[in-house]
Amino acid sequence: MDLSIIGSGYVGLVTGACFAEIGHNVTCVDNDSRKIETLRAGKIPIYEPGLEELIHRNVAAKRLRFTCSTKEGVDNAQVVFIAVPTPPQSDGSVDLSFIEKVAREIAGVLTDYRVIVDKSTVPVKTGEKVAESIKRYNRHGAKFDVVSNPEFLREGCAVSDLMQPDRIVIGAESEYAVDLMKKVYEPFMAPILVTDVNSAELIKHAANSFLALKISYINAVSALCEASGADVEKVADGIGMDRRIGRNFLNAGIGYGGSCFPKDIAAFITISDQLGVPFPLLKEVQRINAAQKDRFLKTVRDTLWVLREKKIAVWGLTFKPNTDDVRCSVAIDLTGDMLREGAQVSVYDPKGMERARETGAIKGARFCESALETTEGAEALVVATEWPEFANVDLAAVRERMSTPIVFDGRNLFDPATMAKFGFRYHSIGRPPVKPM
């Protein structure tokens, strides 16, 4: 099939590349001419495992191309996907101006029938507004259908998530549009749930909020474990062995971050309030998440006493491993807090250094070339992101370089007994602290 993706960010670029990989002809559209020129030159503006190879292979096969022209994208596609940003606003609501702008642009160049698909995460009833906008600005009176097809991609494994999806949700009011969407996804061999548009839009926010709830739940349990001397890892294993619950998203840590969970939960709270059905449970999820970072920082303070002029190494800046995304990163927030208290912070991340610099949020930190370099003369080490590279580090070399071997593990990356064996004073989340053997 001939498809177009309007918006070439994380979602749009991965979606376009994967659609091309299974045989569709895909046109990726973006209004950022520099991004399009970068992509045409064979350079990938984001880090996502497997994505670069996928794009190069399908560009070479002439199944994937890039343009700044919405008209070109609409003219060359049976199905047009909208995958533009939907950033949060100060009140927690979603900024839909990019969606509205694209809807008007599509309407202006629409000359015959197209399926217009909302791939961006949007509040319920957005599909109705998109349809209204296209109808209002549709100069040629062309027919169209609006479909909701939410994405369920996790940064760091987005390619595999799209190529091997748990489910595909199609929200539509037209049988013809549903049939076309089923044809798009036929090669993926995944369960397809067909709903109305409003239900499909609600599914995305409800799913992300539930996953965030699981994270906040185990983080609340981790505080009980620390108070009682229990081990949150064992507790999570015991909970997760229940097939009704599962072990995924029951990893205690310093809290969730990223571009999805914080935004989607705030949006879902706002949506609920606007519909007259408040959702206080989600406000507690937000509170627990914020408190988790503060509780961890308190442990650092209580142990080191005063942070001013303390040399602290920080491993990890991205909000999770296997991505270069630092948006709403707890690691960045934590590093910023320590810098503001006068600590001398050295940082390293395998993929997120450049983007972390661009934010300006940790100005004053020393950016290092390796994890080991951060630990030279350090009085404490903070593990903020659970990169595999850190798990495989030479602990003896780390111990040798640090002036005082104190480790604060915000992601429970290491085994406490092993850390004690290597001579570290070790603090983690929801597990008893250990002292050197």
| Residues carrying an active site annotation | 260
Structure tokens at 63: 């199944």
Q: Which residue type is seen at 140? A: H
Taking the CA atoms of residue 219, residue 220, residue 224 and residue 226 in that order, the dihedral angle to the nearest 10 degrees is 30
Q: Residue ranges of the alpha helices (H) in 76-148?
A: 97-109, 126-137
Q: Cα 98 to chain center, whole Å?
A: 19
Q: What's the rounded Cα separation, in Å, for the pair 36 and 113?
A: 27
Q: What's the rounded Cα separation, in Å, for the pair 421 and 370?
A: 24
Q: Which residue type is seen at 131? A: A
Q: Which residue type is seen at 39? A: L
Buried b (16+ CB within 10 A) or exposed e, 303-315: ebeebeebbbbbb
Residues 6+ apart with CB under 8 A from 416: 426, 428, 431, 432, 434
Q: Cα 86 to chain center, whole Å?
A: 13
Q: Count other C-beta atoms under 10 Å from residue 292's C-beta.
A: 24
Of 138, 106, 158, 156, the residue nearest 316 (C-alpha): 156
Bridge partners, 406 (sequence order): 425
Q: Cα 141 to chain center, whole Å?
A: 38
